[in-house]
Homo-oligomer: A and B are copies of this chain.
Amino acid sequence: MDKILLAHGDGGLLTHRLIEEIFVREFGSDILGEMGDAAGIECGKKIAFATDSFVVSPIFFPGGDIGKLACAGTVNDLSVYGSKPRFLSVSFILEEGTPMEDLIKVARSLGETARFAGVKIAAGDTKVVEKGKGDKIYINTAGVGEMLDNFSQAHKIKTGDAIIVSGNIGDHGAAIISRRAGIDFESVIKSDCAPLNHIIVPLWEAYEGIRLMRDPTRGGVATTLKEIAMQASKDFLIYEELLPFDPQVRSAAEVLGLDPLYLANEGKFIAVVDAAIAGEVVNFIRRFPEGENAAVIGEVLEGRGDVKVKTPLGGTKLLDMLTGEQLPRIC
């Protein structure tokens, strides 16, 4: 069978075949038991729980695909929250007629990413909708992690703390939008889509002075900073010249009339840390290929939740949350 049929979603023989012949194989050794409706899992006493649905279009893009993204997204949500990701559930909503080959590629990529991240796939589900009631492949992942002793708490943020970003800003958004627009820049812009628990979990464990981490996905770095500042009831001062960008992403954003601070990232995190350890934390992150452009980008001031960007010429602008659609179906 080379196309998804409605019957692949009926819970009967074809659904079973899909699970046995594709999901069990492609998710590989990181699948738990029989991938049934529920799974019993051993976990630390306090657990973290996260969910995300992924509807990115196109499902394959430079640097990744919806399978890799669906795994990385939830792994990163759990990690920045302050937990060690352990288990994922994976649920597909497939459009009738989607090439089986696409589903296999996506499942393979999700399985590989889960193995890299060290998370087990514990439960799953598959639904099929009629042609024209979906768009190829939508995936929901939910995840369970073991809470760490240190974890994200906005109220721990203090005036004088440093704000760090783990690398270049806006790569995922720029990759998707230039792929969609069919625009070719000097070279293809790649999404940063990647699980980061191998960097984030050791950071939580090594540095008590980490107050909070967050992954700046939809809405970008700007929206995420605004959310954190409001939760912490502090102002953030960001220095524009410290923001790390791939020059190609910056030109792509310019051509497309977009602000890269509002472009989604899928393999980056923001950390607010005690200024005393900021240098050490940046050096730690830079040791990983995913973090080679990590940088301190600003500091925490007294205030009530404003995010101010200082331009090299000395001006200051306020950043707000994303309003209106910059880019639908970015993740």
Interface residues of A (CB under 8 A from B): 5-7, 9-16, 36-43, 45-55, 77-78, 80-83, 87, 89-93, 122-125, 127-130, 132-135, 138, 140, 142-145, 147, 151, 215, 217-219, 223, 262, 264, 320-329
Copies in the complex: 2
Q: Which residue of B lies closest to A52 (CB)?
A: B125
* B52 pairs with A328, CB closer than 8 A: no
* B49 pairs with A328, CB closer than 8 A: no
Chain B residues, Cβ within 8 Å of A53:
91-93, 125, 127, 140
* A7 pairs with B45, CB closer than 8 A: no
* B5 pairs with A77, CB closer than 8 A: no
* Minimum C-beta distance from A76 to chain B (A): 9
* A89 pairs with B133, CB closer than 8 A: no
* Minimum C-beta distance from A105 to chain B (A): 20
29 contacts between A and B (CB under 8 A): A5-B325, A9-B328, A10-B219, A10-B324, A10-B325, A10-B328, A11-B219, A12-B262, A13-B320, A13-B323, A14-B324, A15-B219, A36-B81, A38-B83, A38-B145, A39-B49, A40-B48, A40-B49, A40-B82, A42-B45, A42-B46, A42-B47, A43-B43, A47-B47, A51-B140, A53-B127, A132-B132, A138-B138, A144-B144
* A55 pairs with B322, CB closer than 8 A: no
* B51 pairs with A125, CB closer than 8 A: yes
* A38 pairs with B49, CB closer than 8 A: yes
* A78 pairs with B128, CB closer than 8 A: no
* B50 pairs with A37, CB closer than 8 A: yes
* Minimum C-beta distance from A215 to chain B (A): 8
* B45 pairs with A218, CB closer than 8 A: no
Given contacts A134-B133, A135-B133, A142-B142, contact A37 B52 (CB under 8 A): yes
Given contacts A127-B55, A142-B123, contact A46 B37 (CB under 8 A): no
* B218 pairs with A10, CB closer than 8 A: yes
* A39 pairs with B48, CB closer than 8 A: yes
Q: Which residue of B lies closest to A130 (CB)?
A: B328
* B13 pairs with A321, CB closer than 8 A: yes
Q: Which residue of B lies closest to A89 (CB)?
A: B51
Chain B residues, Cβ within 8 Å of A54:
127
Chain B residues, Cβ within 8 Å of A6:
325, 328
* B322 pairs with A12, CB closer than 8 A: yes
Given contacts A49-B123, A134-B133, contact A324 B12 (CB under 8 A): yes
Chain B residues, Cβ within 8 Å of A134:
133-135
